[in-house]
Structure 1
Amino acid sequence: MPGSSVSIVNVDKYFGDFHVLKNINLEIRANEFFSILGPSGCGKTTLLRIIAGLEDVDDGDVLLDDKSIINLPPNKRPVNTIFQNYALFPHLNVYENIAFPLRLKKLSEGEIREKVQWLLSLTRLEEHAKKKPAQLSGGQKQRVSLARALANEPKVLLLDEPVSALDAKLRQELLIELDNLHDKVGITFIYVTHDQAEAISVSDHVAVMNNGEVVQYGTPYEIYESPADAFVATFIGESNLMKGTVKRLISESYVLVEFPTLGEIVCYRDKPVDVNDDVLVTLRPEKIRITHSRPQVPEDSFTNILHGVVDETIYMGYQTKYFVRTDGGYILRVYKQHASYLLDEKIIQWKDEVFLYWNPDDSFIVEVDKG
């Protein structure tokens, strides 16, 4: 099943006076797993429905393999949609639910049997073929929905928060199955979700949306490690966001920023800034190292070092979350991963005095207010 590329070109959409989508432009490559990520109400589902032909655009175009489909009705588009409510026929068993679109095409019984058996095997539903939807778990129902959508041999599969109705463990399992299924069938998947963990774990590329706009596009690594603004930095994962003022330009790569209760910190100069500019700096909690003793670092490394006291600890098994009050009174979140269990390691506890240190490349500017 070869997939198609999808191009969203200058798409605008209004619901009355409400501007839902604002000049959306996206290039989705053929056969990739692409995610549209954003909070509720940002326009991501509306964009998916436009690709499916379930909503019209007020301006712009949608192309499949460089050909406009904007005037094609939904049933003429080589696209299928998976909804979070499964949309299965309750009176039909699993086999007949999957066979339904094939019967509409008037395929022979032999062709239908061969294709349904292949799809049952692909989605691991062989033993459930004779069951009705009411006899299935949520994950099994979603796999039936997937198999039925794939029966039409779509060029693009649209998935509208397909695992949101499932519990956390089942969501993760089905997400892995989706990724494996994508690898097997090879068509283009466009996945809509509000869950950043889902999007970055399976996608080739991600578009982050907010207030009807695409605020960042890139690989999961680029989105997480180099958020375009404060919204992306806080929506994707967790981050310490700090407001300060540029005091000195150290080099082409680094600046010295002063923070009211944190002191002076060396930050990566990834945006054009000048002395006295007010800036917003992001620093991921897991990038910060925490120790009982002052770290020994090369003098020319610009490593940031702060002293503080542990204000609160949250042990989570695979990591511990520390909330450290620095000498200036600023509370930084620090996440320490537990890669191994060391019996002779002195555990950092509540009220301990600690040192925090990190590479200046990990504290970088996401917003600038010119002084």
Structure 2
Amino acid sequence: MDLAVYAVQEATAKGRVYPEAESSSGRTPWQRDRDRVIHSTGFRVLQYKTQVFVNHEGDFFRTRLTHSLEVAQIARSVARSLQLNEDLTECLALAHDVGHPPFGHAGEHALQEGMKGYNGFSHNDQSLRQVTRLEQRYVDFDGLNLTWESLEGLAKHNGPVLDPDPYLKAYNQFYPLELTSYASAEAQIASISDDIAYHSHDLDDGLRAGLLQFDDLKDLPIVGQALYEAKQVIQESPATEHQHKRLRHEMIRRVINILVSDLKKQTSLNIRELCPKNPDDIRYAKIGVVQFSPKIGHSNQEIRQFLYKNLYYHWRVKRMSRKGQLLIKELFEILSTNMDLLPTEWHSRLENALKTKQQSGAFRVVADYIAGMTDRYAMEEYQRLTDLAVLA
């Protein structure tokens, strides 16, 4: 497929931190980036990291991995319709959560508290750290040596960064990512596709778990319309088993379609009005070009508010989140005050950090170790460090 003039493409690419010969087999630089992300440790462990429901609560709830795959599917569809770089878009969609700690935002809040005074913690900063430093798969460099465009997209997918986190600020001094401008259209698509994916699949998981009921959704913008249409289809079809499941899937499919269709239409209008001649025209625009229409954008915010009130703050979810937060908090306290308990393979990183004589560096090693855990490994590690019964 021919790319639009405003798409990221090889002719205008800015290369990699560490120069490499590009593929001789016809793969684009961003296909290579995507493949490096998929084969990375950070991506692989997303399989057992919480989205909303902790992994052991059921095999059918989303995890960070299945969420990332759903984001990539939506993002690639949007990028294709706008003649943008699908490979870069997919790479960013798959990589956006590789720095997320166990137990979702509860785990992140615990690490933020533990790292207060030591340059803090954020999963966005950690994702960049994961792909630029923590992955150790190559002889010549740490990290995955992704292209400038992929790193820019990870750093700025939520918009210009005027107050960067410490690691991003330091990395930007080493390898400038033009933080005060917007990212590429491809990165903007990956970001808004994240919203579409988690709004729709969190509704699905909430219904599956019994924390939400269809009656709760009938007056919710977009969702209520999708539910009404799905009911009409169900009523007109022959009676079958598992009607609740079918109704749920019919509704969610329509929610995604409404959001994606509007996003494509409004973004096309925005691009037509801007009339960009190259990717930088997108980057230096006054506002992001990838957007919903005002009406759908407002409705999307209402869905977000509904989910916070009725799902994320549901007592059952809060109870599990609280347990996860306490576990990560205690794990951080134990390891940060007894750093010799870190596994052997982490000792060299700790020694290097201590050579700088900056206490924050040693604490960062502990945060890196915990952030890379799965939910299950965090629980097992906590038990190993606290439960004398394991000695029996």
TM range (shorter): under 0.3
Structure with the larger helix share: 2
**TM-score scaled by length of structure 1:** 0.24
Q: Which has the larger radius of gyration?
A: 1
**TM-score scaled by length of structure 2:** 0.23
Structure with the larger strand share: 1
Greater RCO, 1 or 2 (C-alpha within 8 Å, sep 6+): 2
